[in-house]
């Protein structure tokens, strides 16, 4: 693989072998503390939203859903510890195989997937999990690696927009046919954000925006489920009583919470009123039980997590780490924003879990792995330094030609002119004669004039002497 950072003494090479055991865990503590708080609060809210569901459906086990979510969080924590033992640059070696494996899983979903509520998104071999969750991580790693190796060539249509569009279209196409329109929009938004952080220009952005403006309405028209949700969302503005049942119950939950909520575990909407309260409606449960203060606190926590992710991205020692940290930060921010927008009826209803807080083992595990990668980047960024953008050889050559003008080879000249040329070259800076050089030329010319004058005087004197001797002998 081509070195990602060519101007910092190969700092993109793995540095973990040079770090002690204590230095390997010298990561960004602010990001780690925020992650622990969000995950811990999410586990508490999953228990509050599912204890009654466990009693009714799973042999009167109130802790059933909590134990599964807690187990996924433990696995995620172990994954973070493992990731901290390796340099994140090693991810560039598995980015292509990881994306290929994800594409195979997405194809397997279409062939042998399990259909739930009209959508085929799950595989059940050894458990139930969603390959679309892995697609978020795999595509984020691959696109970050891809744009880092392109450098300034990403602005070229052939090297930038065309291959980028093909890669993203393949992955998003396999996800949208499940159907999973919201996951498709999320994955596409993450990839496009990385693409433009890497330096794509506004012309490429305009082409992508035009493409999205054409494709997204077509997807909604073809997909009956998505078209029904958009239609009901539009009619709800004229008559709120015609809104989707899930939307109505979510707004009721937020209204019942008031300023401080009814208390953790005391909410009533989760008792069969709000569909999917522990997954797609967890933010409504937070609003009911903790009120406006609780929902605002969740927004602040995610805002701080995004802010810290941006700081880590800017301090990464490689461009690959910068793009990867930005991509994961975009991922968490966009997904949280979509979930909250659905609950508050800003956008049509869609199944989008809240990161680290909604119930879902595969979602929790993949999110924890992604957060562990950000922690690894934060550690290496503190050891390495700021990144330097990789420039193409064409750009380097053009800058060199502009900064140092070409100097003409001196032509064959007489002895005196060659001496003046050497004097001018010795007093020249970047090919431009200085005042000292001009003075040197004047002094050289004066010396030559004086020497030529003395030579002429001596020759005339000899001629005069010879003429006077001839006249005397006569």
**Domain presence at residue 398:** no
Based on the fold, state whether residues 286 and 430 are members of the same structural domain: no
Place of tokens 């380097």: 396
Task: Return the SS3 of 120.
Answer: strand
Same domain, 445 and 308: no
Residue 464 CB-density burial (10 A; 0-12 exposed, 13-18 middle, 19+ buried): exposed
- Domain count of the fold of the chain: 2
Two tokens at 264?
A: 């953790």
User: In this predicted structure, what is the pLDDT of residue 452?
Assistant: 61
- And the tokens for 459? 């020759």
What pLDDT is recorded for position 275?
85
**Together in a domain, 449 and 377:** no
For the segment 194-198, the average pLDDT, to the nearest whole number, is: 92
Q: What is the mean pLDDT of the chain?
A: 80
Q: Are 368 and 423 contained in the same domain?
A: no
Task: Say if residue 304 is in the same domain as residue 451.
Answer: no
Say yes or no: 359 and 216 in one domain.
Answer: yes
- What is the rounded distance in angstroms from the CA atom of residue 406 to the CA atom of residue 384? 37
Q: How confident is the model at residue 49, as a pLDDT?
A: 92
- Per-residue pLDDT, averaged over 199-208, amounts to 87
Residues 335 and 447 reside in one and the same domain: no
For position 358, what pLDDT does the model report?
94
Is residue 405 included in any domain, yes or no? no
Last residue within a domain, chosen from 361, 384, 407: 384
By percentage, how much of the chain surpasses pLDDT 90? 43
Is there a domain that residue 6 lies in?
A: no
DSSP SS3 for 3: coil
Same domain for 371 and 462, yes or no, is no
Same domain, 348 and 201: yes
Domain assignment present for 395: no
**Is residue 394 in a domain?**
no
Question: Rounded to the nearest 5 degrees, what angle is found at the Cα of 325, between the Cα atoms of 319 and 160?
Answer: 50
Asked whether residue 156 is assigned to any structural domain, the reply reads yes
Q: What is the DSSP letter of 274?
A: S
- Do 178 and 109 form a contact (C-beta atoms < 8 A)? yes
Higher pLDDT, 124 or 257: 257
Structure confidence by residue, pLDDT tens digits, 7-37: 333 344 556 656 677 777 888 999 999 999 9
> Is 302 contained in some domain?
yes
| 105 and 220 fall within a common domain | yes
Burial 221-241 (b: 16+ CB within 10 A, else e): eebeebeebbebbeebeeeee
Residue ranges making up the domain that contains 280: 16-384
Query: Between helices 131-150 and 181-197, what is the axis angle to 10°?
Result: 20
pLDDT band at 155 (very low <50, low <70, confident <90, very high): confident
Residues 293 and 422 grouped into a single domain: no
- The answer as to whether 163 is a domain residue is yes
Mean pLDDT score, 183-203: 91
In this structure, the answer to whether residues 345 and 429 fall within a common structural domain is no
Burial class (CB in 10 A: 0-12, 13-18, 19+), 70: middle
């Amino acid at each position: 693989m081509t070195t990602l950072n060519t101007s910092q003494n190969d700092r993109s090479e793995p540095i973990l072998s040079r770090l002690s055991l204590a230095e390997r865990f010298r990561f960004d503590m602010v990001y780690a503390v925020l992650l622990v708080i969000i995950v811990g609060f999410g586990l508490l809210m999953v228990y509050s939203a599912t204890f009654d569901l466990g009693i009714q459906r799973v042999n009167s086990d109130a802790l059933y859903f909590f134990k599964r979510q807690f187990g996924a969080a433990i696995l995620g924590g172990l994954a973070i510890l493992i990731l901290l033992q390796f340099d994140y640059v090693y991810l560039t070696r598995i980015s292509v195989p990881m994306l290929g494996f994800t594409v195979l899983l997405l194809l397997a979903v279409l062939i042998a997937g399990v259909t739930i509520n009209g959508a085929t998104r799950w595989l059940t071999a050894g458990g139930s999990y969603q390959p679309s969750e892995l697609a978020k991580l795999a595509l984020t790693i691959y696109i970050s690696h891809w744009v880092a190796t392109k450098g300034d060539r990403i602005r070229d249509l052939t090297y930038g927009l065309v291959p980028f569009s093909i890669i993203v279209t393949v992955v998003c196409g396999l996800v949208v046919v499940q159907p999973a329109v919201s996951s498709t929009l999320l994955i596409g938004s993450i990839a496009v954000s990385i693409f433009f952080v890497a330096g794509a220009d506004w012309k490429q952005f305009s082409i992508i925006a035009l493409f999205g403006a054409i494709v997204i309405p077509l997807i909604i028209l073809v997909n009956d489920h998505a078209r029904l949700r958009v239609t009901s969302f539009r009619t709800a503005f004229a008559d709120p009583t015609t809104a989707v049942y899930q939307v109505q119950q979510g707004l009721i939950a937020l209204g019942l919470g008031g300023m401080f909520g009814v208390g953790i575990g005391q909410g009533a909407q989760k008792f069969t009123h709000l569909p999917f309260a522990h997954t797609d409606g967890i933010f409504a449960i937070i609003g009911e039980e903790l009120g406006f203060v609780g929902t605002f606190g969740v927004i602040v926590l995610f805002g701080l997590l995004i802010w810290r992710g941006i700081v880590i991205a800017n301090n990464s020692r490689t461009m690959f780490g910068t793009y990867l940290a930005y991509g994961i930060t975009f991922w968490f921010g966009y997904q949280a924003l979509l979930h909250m927008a659905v609950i508050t009826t800003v956008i049509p209803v869609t199944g989008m879990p809240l990161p680290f807080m909604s119930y879902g083992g595969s979602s929790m595990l993949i999110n924890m792995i992604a957060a562990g990668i950000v922690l690894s980047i934060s550690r290496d960024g503190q050891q390495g330094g700021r990144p330097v953008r990789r420039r193409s050889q064409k750009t380097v050559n053009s800058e060199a030609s502009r900064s140092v003008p070409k100097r003409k080879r001196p032509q064959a000249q007489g002895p005196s002119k060659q001496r003046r040329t050497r004097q001018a070259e010795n007093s020249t800076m970047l090919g431009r004669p200085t005042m000292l050089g001009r003075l040197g030329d004047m002094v050289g010319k004066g010396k030559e004039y004086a020497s030529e004058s003395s030579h002429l005087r001596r020759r005339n004197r000899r001629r005069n002497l010879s003429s006077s001797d001839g006249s005397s002998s006569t």
